Every structure is written in C-alpha cells, then in structure tokens.
Structure 1
Amino acid sequence: MANDPSIYERRESAARSYCRAFPASFTRARGSELFTEDGTRYIDFLGGCSSLNYGHNDPDMKAALVQHLAGDGLAHALDFHTDAKAAFLTAFDDHILAPRGMDYRIMMTGPTGTNAVEAAIKLARKVTGRRNVIAFTNGFHGMTMGALALTGNAGKRGGAGGGALGDVTHMPYEGALGEGVDTLAVIEELLGNPSSGVDAPAAFVFEPIQGEGGLNAASDDWMRGIEKLARKHGALVIVDDIQAGIGRSGTYFSFEKADIKPDMITQAKSLSGFGLPFAALLIKPELDVWKPAEHNGTFRGNTHAFVTARVAIEKFWKDKSFERELTAKIDLLSGEIQAVADMVEGAKPKGRGMMQGVDVGDGDLAGKICARAYEKGLVIETSGAHDEVIKFLAPLTTPNDLIREGFAILQEATREVLAETAGA
C-alpha cells in the first residue's frame, strides 16, 4: 500500500530540500539507478552528493553487512575495540596510507562531515593557541556553528539566526578575483601587513574542488602556495576532502597530484562506501595531542560503516585498476560536459575528475534545465553562489552507456529549455 504523500507536508520540517526538486517517492536503488513505488526508473547523477561513489547497494558491501548483522555483530560500540574497526583500520593503513607514504592517526569524529570539520578546527586552535582560521570564498564546510563560520554561502549562514560566526577570515579562492589576480599574493600581502586586521591564523582550511561553491578547482600550484604560506606563518593546513575525496577527483585524495602534506584531512560522505554515516579526521601523529575523551561523541565510529568501508577499500583500492578505469571515464565525462556547454552561449565547463559540471551563467536557467531533466528521468542538481552550475556527481562506478544516456537526457532538456526561453 502506497504511503500518503501529505505526511511530508504535515509532519516533516520545512528544512527539507532535495525532495522539493525531486518529489517522487523512491523505494529501491541499484548502482546508478533509482526506482519509485510504481517502478519508474531514474538515472542518478546526484549520488547522495558524493556519498555514493560506489553506487547504491554494492553487492559485496551488502553481503558483508548482512553477514555482520546475521552474526549479531555489534551495531553500536562507542570507541570500543572491535573486529570490524580493526579490519577497517588495517585496510585503510595497508591500501590507502602506506602506498602513498602517508602517516596519519585516524580520529573517529561522529556521523557526518561537519563533525570532522569541527574536530579539525578545534584541534588546530588547541595546538597553535590561536583563534583565527582562514577559509575561502565559495567554500562549504558544514552546518554546525564552527563549520558554518568557515562556509561562505549567505543562505546557509543565515540559518544561524544571527548567531556568532566569528574567528574566521575569508580569503579569495583561486580565480575568485578574476583570472588576472594572483590570490596567493593577495593573501600574502594581508598576512604580512601588521595593520591589515587579519590575526595570525591557526589554520588554513580549503577544498581542492569546491562542491557546493560551484566546482571551482584549485590548481596544484595554488595548493602548494597555500601550504607554503601556512608554513611561513606558523599555521596548519587542513584539507576538506569530504566531497572531492575518495576517488571523486580521479585519485583517492583530491590533492595527491599537488604533492602537499596536509596536517589534517577530513573524510566523510563516501568513506563508508555504502551511504552509511561515517566521518573521520586524519591527523599527523605529532598533532594528536587530545587527552582521552577530550573530544568525543556517542556515535564516533559506526560499526556497520567499518564493515562496508573495509570492503570498499579492498575492492576498489588494493591496486591501481580502479584509478585506471576512472581515467578513461573522466575523458568520457569531459567530452559530455563540453557538449552541453557548447549548447549554451557563454557557458563553460567547471571542476575536474568525476566532479565536473557546466556553468550556464544563470541560476534560473540551470534550475529549469535540471527540473526538465528530472521530468525525463534524470536526477541532477545545481551548485554555485547563484546555483548557476549544473553539477555531475554520479557514482564513480556508473557504466559508460548510462553516462551517455543521462547526458542525452540533459542535452534534450537543455535544448527544450533554451527554445522555450528564446520564444518567451
């Protein structure tokens, strides 16, 4: 028996958002496809906002989780030692950290990305004894008060209801002041001027690819420049790799090709591999100065997520084969993105890797295109300061034929909306 959809209007908070753009009632999902109560199929180019990098209901992760449940494996364990946690940590150490020559402690912070960000800025302030944190224009880091202070979006910040969002200085991200402006030089000038009003920073926090901010992708040189500035001014480097990481850029970490060594790295979204709540903070060992329980939480470490995350790591990251597959898929995606951009005057591709989109220059136009695509069976969203970027976040495992089918829908939707706009 179908549920009465009026229950959402009557009982669910007005804070709900995605269901307003995609109002269908979904009952099951597989890979990169969603299905409604009546069997209608949608192609998923949203992928849980990069929480489903390996698709819906990966069979190997599902089997491991079912086995864990059937064997009365722990569902909740605080931070007890468990077989599931040990297996995850071992897999992460063997297949993620060791091959990259990385030495980090792994702190379980709570169920979602904003918890990892809060822990990072809290620890940076504890280690340095400073308050100010430098974040960047168009950045998004979470909705709790500390992470929200780092976030640039006025609409998100407005949710604080006038609450204090201080101890953060927002600096221009690469390209934020136009192509001819070196934002590293601007930041250096402000930090070097004792009358600039910018306090000595505890840390720099940045996303290598800004997801919610419009798919602005930092160059390797810019990331290295930020690291250099941080070292010069005694600040830590925190890379927010929640949305851009775990393969989304084409490599496990989105900063790998820049060859920087962050002091802390936030992880969430696809960390569990299965869409389960799981966030962690990677910390250089010498900075892991927490006292026992000095920062904790009831749900720090989701045992079910440990199970599926271990399978995801062993299945996709044991060797370079998955990365090689992504390289070929990125080439396909870039071509499809360019084809859509070519349809709209002045539009341009944004992002990199499997985190790309089309800036159509107008939020109303982008919204209409995505709405029309949804009517035709494609779930895809917008991002950017004015929601002007159509953003691709399909699972990394999406078959090439399904990518082509989804973009055929997107092109058709774009063509129709442009024709209607021209005739209006």
Structure 2
Amino acid sequence: MSAVLKTLANGVRVVCDPMPGLETLALTVVAGRGAANEDPARSGWAHLLEHMVFKGAGSRSSRDIVEVIESQGGSINAATGYERTSFQVRALKGGLDLGMDVIADLLLRPTLDEADLVREKQVVAQEIAEAADAPDDYVFDLIQTAAWGEHPVGRPILGSVETVNAATNAALSVWRGALYAPDRLVISATGAVDEAQLMAAAERAFGGVPVGECLAEPVAAPFIGGHAGEVRKLEQSHLVFMLPACGAREQDYFALRIFAECLGGGMSSRLFQEAREKRGLAYNIDAYSDTYADHGALGIYAGCAAKDAVETAKVCAEQLVALARHIEPAELARAKAQLKAHMFMAREQPLSRAEQAAGQVLLFDRLYPPAELAHEVDAVTPADIVRLGERLLGSRRCATAILGAKSALKAGPAFEAALFAAA
C-alpha cells in the first residue's frame, strides 16, 4: 500500500501510510517552524513552549496527559528543532483517535499556567546547564555559532537563561498561535492506520483551526565561519570542523550525503581508516551532513587526546581534500549502498517513517516513494562528488570548534591551514 497525502480546507496536510501486518501505529503532528523562527529576544521560546504544553492542555493535567496515553499501551513525546517541532504518539492499533485528541489539545489548547511557567523555566535552566556540562554536546553549540553567527541557527535551540526567563504566558500564547499555525502543520500516521479514520480524526481535531496570520519564513543563513574554542580540563579534547555546503532542496543534496558517508560515515570510511585504524589518533571520528531547507554544511567530529589534536585536524583536512578531488568507483558504490540502507531501515520503524514523510511534505509539498529516493542516490556520479568538492573548498571558509586543553585549541587554525594549503 502506498502513502496518501491530502490537505484540509485550512491548509493542514495529512499523510496516511499504512504498514500491513503491524499491530501498532505512529502518529506525529509536525509544525514546520522552530528555533530558526525566533528573534534574539525569543531565543529558546519554541523549546520552552514545547515543554509548557505538556504541563496541562484541554481538560487534562500534566499527569493526565501521560497517563491517558500510557494506560492504552502508548507513549508520547515531543522534539524541537531549528525548522520544525514534532509531537509524537506511539500506540497500539485502535489508539489513533485518542492520540490525535491529546496532541490537538497540546498544540491548540494548552493551559499555560503561571506557576507552571515559573517551575518550567527552572527545569529548562537545568537543561541548559546540563548541555554545557556535556562536552560532546556543548562543542556542537560552539560550532553552530562559529558557522552561522547571529542567524537563529547560530544560537542554541535551548536559548539562554536570560531569554527563557523573559517569556510570559501571554507572549507564549501569541507565539504558539504563530508557531503552530495550520499553514505549516503536517499530520503523519503510519502502521496500523486506516485512511478514512485518519482523515475524520484530523478534520475533527485540526480542521477548525483558523488560518490567521502566517509567519514569514526565515532567510537562509549565510555561512560566516571562524574559530571557536574553550579551555576545559578534560580527559579528551572535542573537535568539530565545518564547511558550507548545500540545503535539502538543492541539486547536490544526495551528493553531500554520499560525500559525508565516504569521508566519515562508517568503519570503512576514509577518516575511520586513516585517523583511527592506521594512526590511532581518535576513538570517535565521523563526518556528517547538517542540512536545512535552503542551506547546509559538511561537518567532522573527532574526540582525541590533546597532544593529538593538531595532527587529527591535519588528517581531517587532508582526507577531505583528497576525496574532493577523486572518489574510487567501489567507494562510491559502497556509500550509495550504505545511504540507501540507512533510509530504508528508517522506513521500517513506524515513527521514523512518519517523521520522514512529514519532512518531505514540509520541504517539497509531496511524498517521495522509496524507488525515487533510490534513483536519486544511484544517479550521483563521480563528477557530482568532484563538483561538490569544489563547492566545499571554493568558498575558502570553514568553521572550527575546539573544547579541551589549551594546546588542543591550535587544532582549529591547523585544520584551516592544512585544508586550504592542500586545496
């Protein structure tokens, strides 16, 4: 059975994707807005609002929201990103109507109690502190700022204690109406779901939401680049290197995914083999693509001893430049197989499948069948990889973030020098 995409009269889009043989379902309602829509004064508000709606919504208390789902064998969760906010329910067959009603209450009828807001600000403050205490998380906040500067994606999704404390219930209520407006809402259900039941539930829960005033979409972030570093007494230094690349809507998207896979996507990748297996420089090292709708980046992460940081940076630069110049046919074929496996294995998990479909609708206003995705991956040629490599290096910009001993901070400039000297 193939997935179906339909649209309610107010613009809310609905995806129904049955998976025969399953006794469970996944329901996600995704608002195609998030931290990237925040101005500096509201930094962290999308995440704070996600927390607050769980404190009470409709006629249910915070405890009721969880218990009513779990009493039927389900689970409920949410996540805030830069470009979307997701509310997710996993349930047994037959749990669709309840899941839809609870999520609708969260998005449309949160209580937003003043006492809850005071307490939740304290909770988020602890979450911010916890992230700062986790070096392998915090270093990615540093690289976001180094790469994207003052643009919203250059700020942490959690915001700061100051901006979170500035939020009021009245302001959050207005913000909720804009953030969760129907023009950017996608309801996506997979697994043991029926199209007629889903459409009836979606219409009942979300069909009456007024269109209202639409938020302007954020502009693509210009890649600023630069070096960020912080000295900490750690057993291991954490290094992240980033280059400007393409967005998810651009022609080179799949070439970027394959490039990252070849560079550092697995145990056969260039970085793993050279930095870990041959030289023993790092236990953890990988490359990744960080893409948004209209901009993106290629990133590398490594955790290593401070004494090896500079050498690790040079190896990363050298391997990146070498791949940008030439890719072996067997290497390209292996990366394509790995990428397709990642995408198709995710489709075997109902929640991942529902989220993937919602993302496609938000980006392209359509669904991509697996065969079409496979074709896009298989169509990438060695010339495409070289063209992407020229784009990665052609800007002569990079961003680096180093967290660890003082001597490790030299790895940032060392990466840049080795990268562009070799290029």
TM-score range, shorter chain: under 0.3
Query: Which TM-score applies when normalising by structure 1?
Result: 0.26
Higher-helix-fraction structure: 2
Q: Which has the larger radius of gyration?
A: 2
Query: Which TM-score applies when normalising by structure 2?
Result: 0.26
